Amino acid sequence: MAKTKHLIVFGTRPEAIKMAPLVKEFLKNNLHFETKVCVTAQHREMLDQVLEFFEITPDFDLDLMKPNQNLYNLTAEIIVQLKEVLEEFKPDYVYVHGDTSTTMATSIAAFYSGAKVCHVEAGLRTHNKWSPFPEEINRQVTGRIADIHFAPTETSKANLLLENINKESVVITGNTVIDALMESVEKVTEKPSKTIQDLEKTLGKKDIILVTGHRRENHGDGFEKICKALKTIAIQKPELLIVYPVHLNPKVKEPVNRILGEISNIMLIDPLAYQDFIWMMNRSKLIITDSGGVQEEAPSLGKPVLVMRDTTERPEAVDAGTVILVGTNTELIVSETLDLLNNTERFKHMSTLHNPYGDGKACERIVNHIQSLES
């Protein structure tokens, strides 16, 4: 029987992290599948770090990142540039991930080409089209187009069924980010990078709070409030070290450096490569973030997470108690952080809860499902 053709497309660092183990799983099954990788390079430098770490060389690289990039030209460019790739390779299946502009635009292009669209991490919803923007609409549009929906949890499957998606097309897999995390923790432990070795010396034995923040909806007043909260925590807990890899966006850098730059127990550093960030998560005591991926990863490492967002498309973590929503409310960020640090029993309970996002076998389930369709 002829091999079916599979094209895996991604463009940002988070997508690359979550799709890397799927690429590996498909390549392991090369007797049944012809698999190629296409990157749009929506994020160039951060994407390349992940490709290098996971030892993936794309077959097609659209290299679309430009200065002053906006959603209009990015979306149009992805659709136009993918036409050539789709006509050359003629894939039977195209895989997209989550909710980026690459995901939404690729699903449209793949639909135009006649390929089956497979949506990895399908069914996440806030039901508010402006939060997160533009991700909520990106994933909803992709959900309308997709032929196969690989949903990470029962909740995400339920969201899809409420939108009249055929239940036969929805497969619960767990989240591929846990597959990536398990491989990565092992890798960075065995062979720490120079950055990790330097950080080990700098951090010593101190307890660490790791902070990340970049969401568009928090720009402006939100970041002012976040920074004031971090300043208060640092002053009240001088024995702790707050480590904040600061996003390169000027709307993030300006308030962070202005409000937190002179505080002795706040360490502002450049964004970390994926492997270094995994090590940093594992090294920290707790995490304060507005990242979606961190909400999924940290519970597998036993790290409590405070989420600086008012809504989350990952309610399973809130329901399981592995994360706490604090928004950008200064008082709430401070009070929840201090309570977790001071309340040993609460901290221990939160650190040992089961991760609702899976067991590290999501990619195996995806490939097995595709194989079952082909047999």
Residues that are catalytic? 99, 121, 135, 214, 216, 247
Three-class DSSP labels, the chain: CCCEEEEEEECCHHHHHHHHHHHHHHHHCCCCEEEEEEECCCCHHHHHHHHHHCCCCCCEECCCCCCCCCHHHHHHHHHHHHHHHHHHHCCCEEEEECCCHHHHHHHHHHHHHCCEEEEECCCCCCCCCCCCCCHHHHHHHHHHHCCEEEECCHHHHHHHHHCCCCHHHEEECCCHHHHHHHHHHHHHHHCCCHHHHHHHHHHCCCCEEEEECCCHHHCCHHHHHHHHHHHHHHHHCCCCEEEEECCCCHHHHHHHHHHHCCCCCEEEECCCCHHHHHHHHHHCCEEEECCHHHHHHHHHHCCCEEECCCCCCCHHHHHHCCEEECCCCHHHHHHHHHHHHHCHHHHHHHHCCCCCCCCCCHHHHHHHHHHHHHC
